[in-house]
């Protein structure tokens, strides 16, 4: 098990969204460089501000607000240039059912302990 900081940049999402959005997650990786299914913490930010913290549960649900978002990051091998998505999965009345954000991993830092 390796504790890591994963930083990803928004790659695409419509025409009206902040393309400077970053996703940062602190999580442990297994020997295959996949995220160990547990509860992890992270945050969204851009170059101007910290937008907010979130919790990701062992099912890959991200709790940024009261309504969870789904992600497929738990299915991915975590390494630079890997892409993953987050979406509302029909759980959020504010967002469209097909509201999806595609992120690309820009860095993975492994903490020595």
Average pLDDT along the chain = 86
CB burial readout 28-41, b (16+ within 10 A) else e:
ebeeeeebeeeebe
Q: Which residues on adjacent β-strands are paired with residue 57? A: none
Q: Model confidence at 21, in pLDDT bands (50, 70, 90)?
A: confident
pLDDT at 80: 97
Look up the pTM and report it.
0.84
What does the pLDDT average to over 13-34? 81
Chain centroid to Cα 108, Å, comes to 13
Model confidence at 89: pLDDT above 70: no
């Amino acid at each position: 098990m390796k504790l890591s900081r994963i930083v990803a940049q928004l790659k695409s999402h419509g025409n009206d969204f902040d393309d400077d959005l970053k996703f940062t997650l602190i999580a442990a990786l297994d020997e295959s460089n996949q995220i160990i299914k547990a509860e992890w913490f992270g945050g969204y930010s851009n170059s101007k501000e910290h937008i907010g913290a979130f919790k990701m549960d062992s099912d890959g649900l991200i709790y940024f607000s009261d309504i969870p978002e789904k992600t497929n990051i738990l299915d991915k091998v975590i390494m630079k240039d890997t892409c993953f998505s987050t979406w509302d999965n029909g759980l959020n009345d504010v967002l469209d059912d097909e509201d999806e954000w595609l992120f690309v991993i820009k860095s993975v830092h492994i903490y020595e302990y």
